[in-house]
Amino acid sequence: MKGKKKIISLLLMSILTLVLWGCTSEPASKPGGDGKGKDNDLIVVGYAQVGAESDWRTANTVSFQETFVEENGYKLIFDDAQQKQENQIKAIRNFIQQDVDYIVLAPVVETGWETVLEEAKEAGIPVILSDRMIDVSDDSLYTAWVGGNFVKEGHDCVDWLAGYLEELGRADEEINIVTLQGTIGSSAQVGRTKGVEEKLPEHPNWNMLDKQTGEFTQSKGQEVMESFLKSYDDIDVVIAENDNMAFGAIDAIKAAGKDPGEDIIIIGFDAVKAAFEAMIAGDMNCSVECNPLHGPRVAEIIQKLEKGEEVEKTWYVDEGVFPASEAAKLIDSRPY
Ligand code: GZL
Please say if the pLDDT value at position 35 is more than 50.
no
Q: What share of the chain is helix, strand, coil (3-state, %, to 5)?
A: 45, 20, 35
Distance from C-alpha of 122 to C-alpha of 294, rounded to nearest angstrom: 26
CATH number at residue 247: 3.40.50.2300
Whether residue 29 is predicted with pLDDT greater than 50 in this model: the reply is: no
Task: Give the chain's domain count.
Answer: 2
pLDDT band at 86 (very low <50, low <70, confident <90, very high): very high
Helix axes 187-199, 150-167, angle to 10 degrees: 40
- Pocket lining: 131 vs ligand 1, CB cutoff 6 Å: yes
Q: Mean pLDDT over residues 5-21, rounded?
A: 56
Q: Judge if the beta carbon of residue 43 lies within 6 A of ligand 1.
A: no
| Residue 77 falls inside a structural domain | yes
Stated as kind and residue range, the H or E segment containing 162 is helix 150-167
The beta strands (E) that lie in the chain are given as: 43-49, 74-80, 102-105, 127-130, 144-147, 175-181, 206-213, 237-240, 265-270, 286-289, 314-316, 321-323
242 CB less than 6 Å from ligand 1? yes
Mean pLDDT across 296-301:
97
In this structure, the answer to whether residues 162 and 269 fall within a common structural domain is: yes
142 and 154 co-located in one domain: no
CA distances 161 to 218, 234, 237, 270, Å, are 22, 17, 9, 16
Looking at residue 318, its pLDDT comes to: 87
Q: What is the pLDDT of residue 3?
A: 52
pLDDT band at 245 (very low <50, low <70, confident <90, very high): very high
Are 113 and 182 found together in one domain? no
- Is 258 inside a domain boundary? yes
- Split at pLDDT 50, 70, 90, the class of 321 is very high
Residues 303, 282, single domain; the answer is no
43 with 99: CB under 8 angstroms? no
For residue 230, tell me if it sits in a domain.
yes
Q: Write down the pLDDT at residue 297.
A: 95
Ligand 1 binding pocket includes 188 (Cβ within 6 Å): yes
Is the residue at 8 inside a domain? no
Residues 174 and 280 in one domain: yes
Q: How far is the CA of 242 from the centre of ligand 1 (A)?
A: 7
Q: Which atom of ligand 1 is nearest to the CA of 269?
A: 9
Residue 32 confidence (pLDDT) above 50: no
Rounded CA gap, 257 and 260, in Å? 9
- The atom number, within ligand 1, closest to the CA of 243 reads 11
Residue 203 lies in a domain: yes
Cα 26 to middle of ligand 1, angstroms: 56
Domain extent at residue 77:
43-147+293-317
Give the start-end residues of each E strand in 10-60: 43-49
Asked if pLDDT for residue 135 goes beyond 60, the answer is yes
Q: How far apart are CA 281 and CA 20, in angstroms?
A: 69
Give the helix ranges, DSSP H, for 31-127: 55-67, 85-97, 114-122
Per-residue confidence (pLDDT) for residue 46, from 0 to 100: 98
Q: What is residue 104's three-state secondary structure? A: strand
Q: What angle do CA 193, 196, 318 make, to 5 degrees?
A: 85
Please tell me whether residues 102 and 167 are part of one structural domain: no
> Distance, CA 66 to ligand 1 centroid (Å)?
19
